[in-house]
Structure 1
């Protein structure tokens, strides 16, 4: 069976070669080209294509025997005659198409000339004046003067346009006729008209507007056909104009060949003569591809002629299914703007050819098995049919077959024909194969030899099976392998060496070896059906194996265990590229053992990678089941190529790839092989136009010809549409007008105003939008060209979605009108109602005004009474304070004098009782006054610099005697971290501590009281001072801990009766603490004692003013350093008892003091005027002239007497009274009742200030 396949393949090649040799004798070669076809199955109206045109918008137009076709690369729009519509074609047989310089599209039909109106897509029947043009129009051309020339079935005619377009759309013109027979016409780029009559003479015309157009006969330079003498008149059967890079050239077809036309000499030079076996060269036109070759569409088929080489070839399709299109006769040829060649056939539709597909050299053969580049530039190719050949790309000739023995019955030859198709050719030209052992073939000796194994090898591995791949190493070693071992054969010694594979988790029976590669370090890399194997022989002669397999849970593992190809990266020795079956391409970093995967999701056309080759630029080229792919490792970009660009097929084969030393790459597949130089493959950077080809709404595709359509002309001509809100489901259809492979174009689009970024559409050429809000949008779309390069411009289409009627401007106007009308109506109704209410309101207003006046008078009286009551209350408090404190001053003062002087022992207890009662009464008075101030908001805190330690120590000094009287300890503990200087009100702080310590002493019978002061820094400018007052007294019940801070709360009645008090001390203390930003809390246990905690934040003192004569933080009442002597003091006091107390206290405290008394203010002023006093002690409330008036009078005196220190001694301790004393000019203030130390301290301060000021 194998032998018969071999013979059949050999015979086929021989027959094909002989056929080509016969054609070459007739100067006609055959080219098998990758044609594409468009037929009626694709939408073409009819199979006979007479004429082809690409218009200025990029659309292709085809004139057929049955209708006119417009093509956008995907769909055909067909125009035909409608007998009931006069704006359609007059006749469906389209002979010619032409777009003039003005962009007008002219259509030549079997019944006259038509002008196509693109905006309305209707046809205007051409006429010259009132005469319709009803002839068969075979060709159309325009001259340099914009006149139109018509080739008709009855001669040549010229249309001269005389004015602007008429009302029916046809530009006015006149017609002039020249010839009488059927003819053809063409124009070159200079506007020269070329015309020919079938089988008669050919003319070229030099047109002018004088009516004297000269028709010159064009002569051929030598006889052709049956003409035997002289130059022959040239009968043209086809015309085309070509302009190359040097000059313009015009070519014409005559019956027996091709001629080049010269418009200056009126001569024609014969370029090609063909035999009669092709028949006469009749045709309508030709085309010139980007390579300068003429494509000839003639009755006998499709032909190519190269003017440079004079080579004449016939073009046939590689795809046998297209053979009818190519052999059934051609009607016309056309080259579009992208260089694509279009051929209109005689009944089989269209075929196209992309000249760029020739970038890949193609050799059509049987299916390739493997390939190897030879040192001399040739390539050895093995075929699956079981034979070899050597191809020489330098000559680009058909492969030369290796002369195997003709003894087909030779068993050795039969064995070789069944061998694996993978081979390796050594430096001597010997071919090495695998088949039940190793075989060699020497083409010079035409000898096949089996390589015998040595005895040791047979004993070690009795069964010999080999896989399909080889690797040459050096000049002696050949590596191959089986399912169990890696085999090394030394050609010099003839010895085999077998290396067992490491065990694999996938098993050993299927370990077929598909690829071997050796890196620069001598490491062998083996691609098998069970993973990737690394064989490292470098370390001390001890081999080391590494195995890489696919792990579904590890994305950095090998993507597939079946490996087809390997490539050590020539630019990075640490990288190995691995091609797999189904897993795409893998990049292995040898040092880390990590893989990076690339597959069809990344752009690879297919996940089966048969072969990998590098190019000079560092790219990788891969053969797959869907063509070739170029991969850029730097960018990760893929560029794919398939059969449409000239590849032998989309499907390639394993092992069939190699690279020559000059960089030429070879890839073999199922229908032959391709070879190319990657550096010569350049991408097309030009962009073809992209058009919006259709718009769909909910109810279907918009037709601009339909009544009420939002489109007023075709979508590709329109700049936008406006649609109602109810129809805002919009579908845009678009197409890139580049036709080599329209289905491969990719698109991106976005709707500005809706989409934030471009939408990747892939090959989908439609975009759907729904539920668009009213507004103006711009739809933009762009596509790529045939080489995948994106158009940065694209096209734009405006979409306006109208708002619903209730959101239109007239609806808003209606709303406004209704609103204004409603407002006016409301105003009218309200006006009537208001007028009715006016009188009632006026009466009510008058009544209410009188009532309000009465209420205001009553409110004024109430306010006056309240103010008067407040003044009376304030005055009452002042009077009560004065009236109580005045006798209290006398009582406490005399008691103190008596206790200091000699008295009987039994009198001591009475004096103590008087002193304690006086102190209790004074505390009650002070608490009542403080509470009244707080309720009236009259308390203002001071802000001076003070030492908190001194405050605590001062309290200890005052209350220690009280504690000693009850035999209690009084301990003070001050943390060293307490700042020495704070800013605040030390008097109120002392008042709080005095109250808490005093209460603790009062309610403690055994033990004592401890005071602890600490401070913590709140920030760099503030400290939180905490003072804990702990006693061992009776404690406070849990249910009464909050109530003890309420006014007048004294606990249980028995407690109040036993210990006394008003119940105001704790309430006042807590309020004072809260006014300074702090608080007082209590913890207690009945029978064991209580702890009251005062927490107040104070600012750290900076440069606050300290009163002269007072140490920071030392409250009034402490005696200053130094002593007072020999002072003369004036005491203004109307109460004789208080005067007596003051005189005695001063006499006892100040040595040598002299005290004079004035009973009222007037006498005091007189005495100051008459005497020299060191100080005045001034009572405030006195008859005739009070203390304020007396002070102002003294300050009004002249000289030094006006500056005499004056200290107020008053029983009124309200703040307002203290302020009045300062305002009247007094220098100090001592409240009644006073302590002797307090009075003496004030005197010392005042006299020292006087001394410093003098």
Structure 2
């Protein structure tokens, strides 16, 4: 079903007739108004309610919502339900069966149950007081059906047979006996309500008609059906007084209006025949004057004119329609939220206008509004729809249209554009179609152009169409970017870009835009591209080192926007970027965090400079200068959280259009009906954590102004709530904590509704909190809580004076001892001077010896470098490769090795035990063993090479049974067979990474080293070999553990393999030398001032 939301009637300059036309998108019959139905939320026992059968609802003066059920009482703060239940004591509820709730003076909560009356006095502790539960009080009746509070604060109770008044000050009860017809037997579990009118009369529904008490005289008057006044049945369980002071009576056979002057009743179906016979269970009224009637299966809404009624059988939840069960309670809170108590749970319905107009439709992938009011809507798979302004149903264009003039080449519509000559262009999933001026049919673009090859667009997605200032038409396609010249009818295709010494293959181009300088910016899956038509030069910006100002934060660019100030904004798969023309650098926006986690599919700007961003997480508005960020979701009227790339449009009059998977949102930013209800703030809980461990039971804080923290408490957590229930999860908070009498700064706490303090010093503090609703409208006044941390007894004045005297005596003693110590120190100092001279002589000897050792190590470095393969030899054997080699010390324990025999190339990355001199010695032995083994018959298989290497190490590092050296090598060895296009790999602890189809495949190594544990294992371990058949564009990486184990970064942590793999996956398409430089720069920036902890070796090969 296509749904048109009511708030669309208020959108600027859009005739309502147009939106009735929109119904034709999914409705093939005649156009007629449809009700969008109620959008609601259901709370049940699985949501935290004590039970799903709700009997009563009340919002107290603080803003908390109280919900009575057949199995307990609940208090709701927007985040959770606090339950109150019966316990066998005198300080809890007397019964779990709750019938009614009311609030008296000073915030006292009165609760009527099946077994007496209960009072919660929050000013004097959170304990319950029970009334009418003793046998002596049984004459009043123990079942409390209804509670009302009059102007003097007296509590009026409706029991089974009586009306009872309670004086809260004296706790005295006065009972009024009601008229009883003994022949009319009462029904079991039937509740009867009361109301108090403006003059103080008490009106009661009874089994014997409507009765009214005058409290001043004690007289009771009866109005019943027996008097022939229009009442069909005397049983009136429900009465309600509306805003016009009319008395409504709900019975099992209908709704009646009572006329006081005549004492007669009028059945409502006589003025509203569509009501029929109703079993009225509950009655309520909205602030707009709408009368609400709850029945066994529906909610009936009666407009104030008492002529128009609407019957609602259920409400919509996300992905499910829920039917009403018996509605026992109806309540509208202070922010126009309607709460319904049903047998299935508590239903929440927000009656405020939604912020965004909504058209329910297929997946809307592109939008364009003509100047004449025609709206073109492209879908992802259902073709193109044209809605002519007020002229009838939608005109549909698709691949299977019966009329040839309505037929398209593809049903996926990515983009719509009308050029300056009036031609309408559409980009589809199978090329470009165009409707030329003066025609009413689309044709394939290439079919009418002699200079345009159809193969250029065949089966290609056209994501964007853009016309630049010179009249060129740009097509952003899956196979590159194409520019069409309407004058000479020629087309220029750009599929590869040469920039510097690099070549970039352009693919999956999503968007094109022109900046004020006439430069063309192109967003694609391989980065951001800038083209200067004046010089025909291209610049490419890609993701690299994330802290570099010359890089964007993702290579996938979905959207581009030039704002009113000429600034370029870039929406990527990792959030929002801005290009700074002056410095040629980029700025990332990651505050708030949500901004950096969005895939930004569309960017539009309103007249105030706010950026409207569509993503897979809903719609958001961001003002860069004010740094205000507001995110919207389905609760605000959005079609869904998920929007579609490129499906956004802004009309010249300021209206905005955003399309997504479930329809189209239309709005004007200046006409959004933001929530104007300020929340009430309240502290809810106080939780303590003692130094010995353990959390105390949470203490309720509503109506508490001061908290004293006992000794031994180290951690204090205080919870609070903004009691505006439109979208509590979006309410935000700020707080300040100061010592009494001081001022402080407000700290924004985001959506977190609690603060925690650690080891507060003794004193008096004031915690002030302000909260907002879901639209960031903050409460006008702050809510305060005084927190007292008592001083310990030793901090008192007398104890402090004693401390001062003792401290003075101790200081005198210390001075005396210090004088003696100085004399002794002078004698010792002379001896130390003599010792220092001897130490200086020894230092010179050590420096000379150290120089000799260093010279030897430097010479060893030259020997080791001579053994390593040269860059030239490595490049000759593997042209598409790089080696990043960064020793920790002068000589290295890591080395790499390459050799060729016939069609096979041997490559190894080796990490010897340790680094520096010990590692270098082991590496020299490894060089010789590799040379020896690979020239033998055992050199055809990498596993056999490692097994032989293992045996040779055993022989070298063994001295009979006397000496065992725990030395060895972790390594990756692969043999590349060029003829067979295969790779054989074997490894000792060092895996091999294969990048294929944008995915890293890790080839596991054996979990033991070469030669390291041959003396500690009775069983000889053999290495395994892995064979991989290579594919085009495969890249392999060999490496030691030095890169991933390097410490650094903002928190001084390891780089780790997860970050290493992500970096490789980001750069693997780049040229090999470019990869080497990025890897080198990334680890250098990561290290910063941190010392290198190990040798680093990374080898990349594109076989």
TM-score, normalised to structure 1, is: 0.53
Query: 2-side partners of 1:794 and 1:238: how far apart?
Result: 40
Local SS of the residue matching 2:776: coil
Residue number among 730, 745, 754 corresponding to 1:766 in the alignment = 754
Query: 2-side partners of 1:296 and 1:31: how far apart?
Result: 20
Q: Quote the residue 2:724 is aligned against.
A: 738
Matches within 5 A, 1:1014-1053: none
Residue number among 564, 571, 574 corresponding to 1:579 in the alignment = 571
Measured against aligned partners, the alpha-carbon deviations of 1:508-533 in whole angstroms (never above 9, x if no partner) come to: 44532212334566654332223334
Measured against aligned partners, the alpha-carbon deviations of 1:947-973 in whole angstroms (never above 9, x if no partner) come to: xxxxxxxxxxxxxxxxxxxxxxxxxxx
Answering whether residue 132 of structure 2 is matched by residue 141 of structure 1, we say: no
TM-superposed deviation, 1:262: 7.0
Q: Quote the residue 2:165 is aligned against.
A: 160
Contact 2:732 2:772 in 1 (8 A): yes
Measured against aligned partners, the alpha-carbon deviations of 1:78-136 in whole angstroms (never above 9, x if no partner) come to: 22222x31343332211211223564322222234333333342132148995554343
Matches within 5 A, 1:533-932: 533-537=529-533, 545-552=538-545, 553-555=547-549, 557-569=551-563, 571-572=564-565, 574-582=566-574, 584-590=575-581, 592-599=583-590, 601=592, 604=595, 606-681=597-672, 682-684=674-676, 686-698=678-690, 714-753=700-739, 757-791=745-779, 793-807=781-795
Q: Quote the residue 2:973 is aligned against.
A: none
Query: 2-side partners of 1:504 and 1:138: how far apart?
Result: 83
Matches within 5 A, 1:281-292: 281-288=279-286
TM-superposed deviation, 1:613: 1.7
Query: 2-side partners of 1:442 and 1:331: how far apart?
Result: 63
Contact 1:441 1:449 in 2 (8 A): yes
Contact 2:731 2:772 in 1 (8 A): yes
Contact 1:747 1:781 in 2 (8 A): yes
Q: Quote the residue 1:65 is aligned against.
A: 70
Contact 1:779 1:799 in 2 (8 A): yes
Can you give the 5+ residue segments of structure 2 that lack an aligned partner in the other structure?
A: 1-22, 807-1103
- Cα distance, 1:150–1:664 mapped onto 2, change above 3 Å: farther
- Cα distance, 1:405–1:499 mapped onto 2, change above 3 Å: closer
Residue number among 96, 100, 104 corresponding to 1:96 in the alignment = 100
TM-superposed deviation, 1:383: 2.0
Contact 1:621 1:628 in 2 (8 A): yes
Q: Which has the higher helix share?
A: 1
TM-superposed deviation, 1:548: 4.1
Local SS of the residue matching 1:514: strand
TM-superposed deviation, 1:453: 5.5
Contact 2:416 2:424 in 1 (8 A): no
Answering whether residue 193 of structure 2 is matched by residue 185 of structure 1, we say: yes
Query: 2-side partners of 1:49 and 1:188: how far apart?
Result: 24
- Cα distance, 1:484–1:111 mapped onto 2, change above 3 Å: closer
Measured against aligned partners, the alpha-carbon deviations of 1:832-877 in whole angstroms (never above 9, x if no partner) come to: xxxxxxxxxxxxxxxxxxxxxxxxxxxxxxxxxxxxxxxxxxxxxx
Q: Quote the residue 1:173 is aligned against.
A: 174
Measured against aligned partners, the alpha-carbon deviations of 1:882-933 in whole angstroms (never above 9, x if no partner) come to: xxxxxxxxxxxxxxxxxxxxxxxxxxxxxxxxxxxxxxxxxxxxxxxxxxxx
Query: 1-side partners of 2:327 and 2:719: how far apart?
Result: 33
- Cα distance, 1:528–1:729 mapped onto 2, change above 3 Å: closer
- Per chain length, whose mean CA-contact separation is higher, i.e. which structure has more relative contact order (CA < 8 Å, sep 6+)? 2
Residue number among 198, 214, 217 corresponding to 1:210 in the alignment = 217
TM-superposed deviation, 1:382: 1.9
Q: Which has the higher strand share?
A: 2
Q: Quote the residue 1:354 is aligned against.
A: 350
Answering whether residue 416 of structure 2 is matched by residue 423 of structure 1, we say: yes
Measured against aligned partners, the alpha-carbon deviations of 1:770-800 in whole angstroms (never above 9, x if no partner) come to: 4333333333333333222344643333333
Matches within 5 A, 1:427-576: 432-440=426-434, 449-451=443-445, 452=447, 454-458=449-453, 465=460, 467-472=462-467, 478-482=473-477, 486-489=481-484, 496=491, 498=493, 502-503=497-498, 508-518=504-514, 523-537=519-533, 545-552=538-545, 553-555=547-549, 557-569=551-563, 571-572=564-565, 574-576=566-568
Q: Quote the residue 1:402 is aligned against.
A: 395
Local SS of the residue matching 2:462: coil
Query: 2-side partners of 1:521 and 1:291: how far apart?
Result: 55
Measured against aligned partners, the alpha-carbon deviations of 1:295-328 in whole angstroms (never above 9, x if no partner) come to: 554321445454469352537544356644x434
Local SS of the residue matching 2:452: helix
Contact 1:188 1:250 in 2 (8 A): no
Equivalent pairs counted in the alignment come to: 762
Local SS of the residue matching 1:679: helix
Measured against aligned partners, the alpha-carbon deviations of 1:454-510 in whole angstroms (never above 9, x if no partner) come to: 443339969784532112569986431446654344678865455676436886445
Larger Rg: 1
Q: Quote the residue 2:131 is aligned against.
A: 125
Contact 1:114 1:124 in 2 (8 A): yes
TM-superposed deviation, 1:50: 0.9
Can you give the 5+ residue segments of structure 1 that lack an aligned partner in the other structure?
A: 1-12, 221-226, 705-710, 820-1254
Answering whether residue 371 of structure 2 is matched by residue 345 of structure 1, we say: no
Answering whether residue 82 of structure 2 is matched by residue 77 of structure 1, we say: yes
Query: 1-side partners of 2:619 and 2:756: how far apart?
Result: 34
Query: 2-side partners of 1:746 and 1:307: how far apart?
Result: 36
TM-superposed deviation, 1:351: 2.4
Residue number among 31, 40, 48 corresponding to 1:35 in the alignment = 40
Query: 2-side partners of 1:545 and 1:189: how far apart?
Result: 80
Query: 1-side partners of 2:670 and 2:269: how far apart?
Result: 35
Q: Quote the residue 1:1022 is aligned against.
A: none
Answering whether residue 376 of structure 2 is matched by residue 380 of structure 1, we say: yes
Local SS of the residue matching 1:299: coil
Q: Quote the residue 1:6 is aligned against.
A: none
Contact 2:417 2:466 in 1 (8 A): yes
Contact 1:112 1:133 in 2 (8 A): no
Query: 2-side partners of 1:722 and 1:184: how far apart?
Result: 45
Q: Quote the residue 1:298 is aligned against.
A: 295
Local SS of the residue matching 1:342: strand
